[in-house]
A and B are shown apart, each in its own frame.
Chain A
């Protein structure tokens, strides 16, 4: 008998259905992944299993049996007996998943004691989850731990109840790609070794097919498709799955599409030649929409030469000292082209971007924007130059003023630089909405009435308002669903081709970079470890670090299929 047996399950929030007629099973020791974009009902399904739906959420029909216990309509007491001891949960975001005012040892010990075991077992579970020096760590508070370590503590908590099933809700989305890989490898090893079943909830088809024995694709609360990773990838039954596969294809597959200054076939040939059918079947792939050749002759729009940045740190024990956020960084953004900065959190890519925007002062080096040295410019002298370079921020939910209408948001730069009058601004606003493919009727909407992708379009329209030469994009798609990412990247490539824009593109996601960028700098610990055309750097990485980053990208099976 299956450990989890969901039949014909309906879950609603108020009157809004979230899951409709779902059938899903998880066998003993099986690894099952549920894939879908936000709003597909995947997290709702997981929450329903352990009775942790938000207060307005209810199971309205069907049944969900876990380890022989019916959870639909079950009493709190019944559900509580399941939580922890039968089903362990690894929640979505490790940064906020732990109580900030409790030592981590105590948080793991709670789960141990609920099982009636002595708290001394705590250290065993921390060690199992791969937390180094568990004795010391157990006395620390969550804020003293990195994201990866916090994720491991959450895994330890899930393990501490000795469950039969672990639900991992988006176990990868908040972490760096190399950390993700190490942690998922570790978790997969643990569950396989101990015979625990694993239910992975993810938006990332690549992660799902890499890790699971069986993959379930969900959309709008319904199951679209189900099968082994191999069968799903080779013979996808639905067009939706096919689109997901196209969007999740690893960057090496895209190398041949890439518009590069020095087009050069990557050397590990067999791995990087995409099936010919891909090109014709998915013309929406961004690579094909990207602009043509960039001329080498023109001067770069942005040149950072020998830029260093030292932050002062006050250390009570050793007095003042510096932290080198950037060390002798050279970066060039070609006119009409896209230069990407990639690396893990803390590598200095955002600091580089802030220095290029004049928001942070470099300790050393020179920053030339459109032929003008901006280092050391006063605010007033810098201000006219700000028209030339605009920013699109990572989080489309936080970047727009919630009280502003779309019209106010995108005309604000015009107002602040006193461009035009009321009437011409209105015309410009409509023009900008056309450029980002939003209907004019959206001018009067406010951010909360827009989806994530639409908000990011508004943010792009706002960046375009002053007709800049350069747009700095700080992780512009990392908060969006895969298919929406695809649309925004296409829009960006399209705008670049039509308006001759240059982009400085910051991202931790190599597959996104491979789609949009011409040249790339791989950064680590404040230095550029490798630089050059994307095809060269990703196709034939020279540094170990770049190689590690590329190998950590999920999607081995998609790649193989």
Chain B
């Protein structure tokens, strides 16, 4: 068991490192001059500086070092919790993140929870009632672009009904994200339910004399939910990436909006930090799912008794 956990954690760290390195490579290959951006932000014309002054500034920010050394310094800083300094706002990136993470965290957690409840309920009902209308609903929900859903909600609930404020509220952003996330979840779950319901053990359960609702709840649900669990990471990841569009449309001061601004102004350290944080969340959720899985599925056990492992080897030998 300990071996399994350590292996999974090791994998998670590796993925995180790879995501960081890839982002670093892409951002530093972009044809932009970070120094120019910084000077522009400070209101200085780059042309007005002498060559010596330029070199001095480059040296101060470590921009005269070879790329791999910059990468190394950046990575070492990251391990200390130092994301560098924003090029455009002249404040530490970690401080920017700390200021902005609250609203996004609230948004993501709420949206993921709503999506989980809504998506599971829809899949359960659709497969139990066998109404084709319900089974097709998720495909519809997944095909609306988020900015469209957001604008529709603003138009209808804010401008026409006046129920929610167009900016700053939590309800409409959560709904916007949950529409897509719950649809994705429901699509996977419905598939999984249909697969499960065609299994012979469901016939066994029905032949015992159990009612359809008992079979659905006690036999089908758990077996259908297990394979669908693997997309929980995707769902949470989706709520994080959705925050870019949603926070922009609803003007919420969160990480998503920060990312959008940073990309527009080519603020490389900020973009790098946001991507790293998002990747960390994604990796963490997947890690938790991987670690929970053996606890929920009796077939996957990492402390097998001797008899079971002999049986499995025989299974391989057959």
Interface residues of A (CB under 8 A from B): 50, 52, 76, 80-85, 87-89, 91-93, 96-102, 107, 110-111, 114, 141, 143-144, 146, 154, 157, 160-161, 311, 313-318, 323, 325, 345-346, 348, 350-351
Contacts and interface: CB of A to CB of B under 8 A. Distances in A.
Given A91-B203, A100-B298, A323-B313, A76 B306 contact: no
Given A316-B303, A346-B318, A81 B200 contact: no
A160 B298 CA distance: 25
Nearest to A84: B209
Contacts of B51: none
Contact of B297 (A81, A101, A311): A101
Given A81-B209, A100-B223, A313 B201 contact: no
A410 B207 CA distance: 43
Given A96-B200, A101-B226, A346-B314, A114 B298 contact: no
Contacts of A143: 298-299
B309 A314 contact: yes
Interface of B: 199-201, 203-212, 218-219, 222-223, 226, 297-299, 303-311, 313-314, 316-318
A504 to B, nearest CB: 17
A160 to B, nearest CB: 8
A114 B209 contact: yes
Nearest to A106: B218
Given A101-B222, A143-B298, A52 B203 contact: yes
16 contacts: A81-B209, A83-B206, A83-B209, A85-B209, A88-B207, A97-B203, A100-B223, A110-B218, A111-B208, A114-B210, A144-B307, A311-B316, A313-B310, A316-B303, A346-B317, A350-B318
A98 B201 contact: yes
Contact of B204 (A97, A114, A161, A314): A97
Nearest to B212: A76
A97 B207 CA distance: 11
Nearest to B314: A346
B297 A350 contact: no
A157 B306 CA distance: 28
A497 B168 CA distance: 84
Contacts of A98: 201, 204
A228 B206 CA distance: 33
A323 B298 CA distance: 24
Contact of B200 (A92, A161, A316): A92
A91 B206 CA distance: 11
Contact of A313 (B206, B207, B313, B318): B313
Nearest to B219: A99
Given A76-B212, A111-B209, A315 B204 contact: no
Contacts, number: 109
A89 B207 contact: yes
B201 A100 contact: yes
A68 to B, nearest CB: 17
Nearest to A98: B201
B208 A84 contact: yes
B299 to A, nearest CB: 5
B126 to A, nearest CB: 15
B7 to A, nearest CB: 14
B204 A348 contact: no
Nearest to B223: A101
Contacts of B205: 99, 110
Contacts of B299: 100-101, 141, 143
A234 B9 CA distance: 70
B306 A93 contact: no
B207 A52 contact: yes
A82 B218 CA distance: 21
Given A91-B203, A97-B204, A99-B201, A317 B306 contact: yes
B90 to A, nearest CB: 56
Contacts of A99: 201, 204-205, 219, 223
Contacts of B219: 99, 102
Contacts of B316: 311
A96 B199 contact: yes
Nearest to A50: B207
A404 to B, nearest CB: 25
A99 to B, nearest CB: 5
B204 A154 contact: yes
Contacts of B305: 317
Contacts of B210: 84, 110, 114
Contacts of A111: 208-209
A126 B200 CA distance: 21
Given A50-B207, A84-B207, A350-B317, 6 more contacts: A80-B209, A87-B207, A89-B207, A154-B204, A313-B313, A318-B306
A351 B314 CA distance: 10
A547 to B, nearest CB: 24
B207 A83 contact: yes
A199 B310 CA distance: 36
Contacts of A81: 209
B317 A351 contact: yes
A316 B308 CA distance: 12
A313 B309 contact: yes
Contacts of A52: 203, 206-207
A85 B208 CA distance: 8
A97 B212 contact: no
